[in-house]
């Protein structure tokens, strides 16, 4: 595991903030409730990004778990940093945060939850200039009975828009005015592919987004659907929408997934490519 900064606890925050990248230019916080940003938005110039921009979801790291695949995450992080047109949405369960009050075994973790937070934000800090949204997952809620939701602390240290539940993200770019994204961690304990798809499809019935991103179930699902829209007085257009479930950075073997006989999965994260002419595409990378 990458070590945390050698700075003393009392000086760690000063050092962390000193070299933290600036937030993405043009990022705004809308519909703020109890300090949480429900509608972040970003203005992106087609002159600066003439071909396309990307939105990569990073979710279910479960950092702090002994099964966290750090080398896999570092490859994703470098891929994003090498692409100046690639932005990031954080999907929750970023830390494992097992406690005596949670159903998980704290001995499967490397550090206590508060130290997982500081080590994680050190790991995510290089991406701060790309992060345009973040939501909490059930693992962040494990600390709610102790020192509060760890997701809020992670977002506070990184200085990124945060919601404990859903975020509706708007990207203003080219003909997309805006391109609309719904971001949510996910819920439930579905085991079959069909049940997982049902959870995702229910999410796709909410809001008026183009793309719906979730995780939670450590599996991948990609669904397309169509939404009717009145176009003028005498025609109806069909608007494409997509739902994408990303998996996780958690190792399958010697994890609870293996212990409980859950379906094995590998790391695949949702990637949305948005083109200035109004076109867009999704994939699992």
Mean pLDDT along residues 100-107: 76
Where does the pLDDT of residue 146 fall: very low under 50, low under 70, confident under 90, or very high at 90 and above?
A: confident
CA dist., res. 186 & res. 195, Å (int) = 13
Q: List pLDDT tens digits, range 226-261.
A: 999 999 999 999 999 999 999 999 999 988 788 878
Listed residue (168, 180, 181) closest to 38, CA to CA: 168
> Per residue in 7-52, pLDDT tens?
788 889 999 999 999 999 999 999 999 999 999 999 999 999 999 9
pLDDT band at 2 (very low <50, low <70, confident <90, very high): very low
- pLDDT tops 80 at residue 220: yes
Nearest to 93 by CA among 65, 112, 118, 119: 65
Over residues 205-229, the mean pLDDT reads 97
Q: Which residue's structure tokens are 């019935």?
A: 205
> Which residues are 283's β-sheet partners?
271
Question: Which DSSP helix (H) or strand (E) runs through 115?
Answer: helix 113-124
What confidence category does residue 91 fall into, taking pLDDT thresholds of 50, 70 and 90?
very high
pLDDT of residue 234: 94
Could you tell me which of 19, 37, 35 has the C-alpha nearest to residue 27?
37
Instruction: Give me the percent of the chain exceeding a pLDDT of 90.
Output: 84
Q: 93 Cβ partners below 8 Å, 6+ apart?
A: 59, 60, 61, 62, 137, 138, 139, 140, 185, 215, 216, 248
Query: Can you give the pLDDT at residue 39?
Result: 98
pLDDT at residue number 21: 96
pLDDT score, position 171? 98
CB 42 within 8 A of CB 27: yes
pTM of the model: 0.95
Which of 32, 25, 29, 18 has the alpha carbon at shortest distance from 49? 25
Is the link from the previous residue into 178 a cis peptide, with omega within 30 of 0? yes
Q: What angle do CA 166, 118, 169 make, to 5 degrees?
A: 20
What sign results for the dihedral spanned by CA atoms 84, 135, 12, 77?
negative
Given pLDDT bands bounded at 50, 70 and 90, which one contains residue 264? confident
Mean pLDDT, the chain, as a whole number?
94
Look at residue 5 in the predicted model and tell me its pLDDT. Answer: 56
CB atoms within 10 A of CB 173: 24
Cα separation, 283 vs 116, whole angstroms: 30
Looking at the predicted structure, is the pLDDT value of residue 3 above 70? no
Domains within the chain, CATH numbers bracketed: 25-284 (3.60.21)
Polymer length in residues for the chain: 285
Averaged pLDDT, 128-144: 95
Q: How far apart are the first and last CA of the chain?
A: 24
């Amino acid at each position: 595991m990458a070590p945390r900064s050698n700075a003393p606890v009392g000086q760690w925050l000063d050092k962390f903030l000193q070299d933290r990248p600036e937030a993405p230019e043009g990022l705004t916080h809308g519909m703020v409730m109890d300090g949480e940003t429900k509608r972040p938005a970003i203005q992106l110039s087609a002159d600066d990004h003439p071909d396309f921009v990307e939105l990569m979801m990073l979710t279910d790291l479960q950092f702090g778990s002994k099964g966290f695949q750090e080398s896999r995450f570092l490859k994703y992080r470098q891929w994003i940093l090498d692409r100046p047109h690639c932005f990031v949405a954080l999907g929750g369960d970023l830390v494992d945060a097992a406690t005596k009050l949670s159903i998980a075994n704290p001995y499967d973790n490397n550090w206590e939850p508060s130290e997982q937070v500081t080590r994680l934000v050190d790991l995510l800090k290089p991406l701060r200039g790309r992060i345009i949204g973040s939501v909490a997952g059930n693992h962040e809620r494990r600390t709610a009975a102790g020192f509060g939701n760890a997701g809020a602390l992670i977002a506070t240290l990184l200085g990124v828009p945060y919601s404990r539940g859903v975020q509706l993200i708007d990207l203003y770019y080219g003909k997309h005015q805006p391109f609309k994204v719904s971001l949510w961690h996910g819920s439930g304990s579905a085991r079959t592919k069909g049940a997982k798809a049902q959870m995702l499809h229910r999410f796709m019935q909410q809001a008026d987004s183009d793309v719906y991103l979730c995780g939670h179930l450590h599996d991948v699902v990609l669904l397309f659907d169509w939404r009717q829209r009145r176009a003028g007085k005498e025609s109806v257009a069909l608007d494409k929408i997509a739902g994408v479930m990303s998996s996780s950075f958690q190792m399958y073997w010697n994890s609870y997934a293996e212990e409980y006989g859950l379906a094995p999965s590998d790391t695949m994260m949702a990637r949305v490519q948005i083109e200035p002419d109004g076109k867009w595409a999704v994939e699992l990378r």
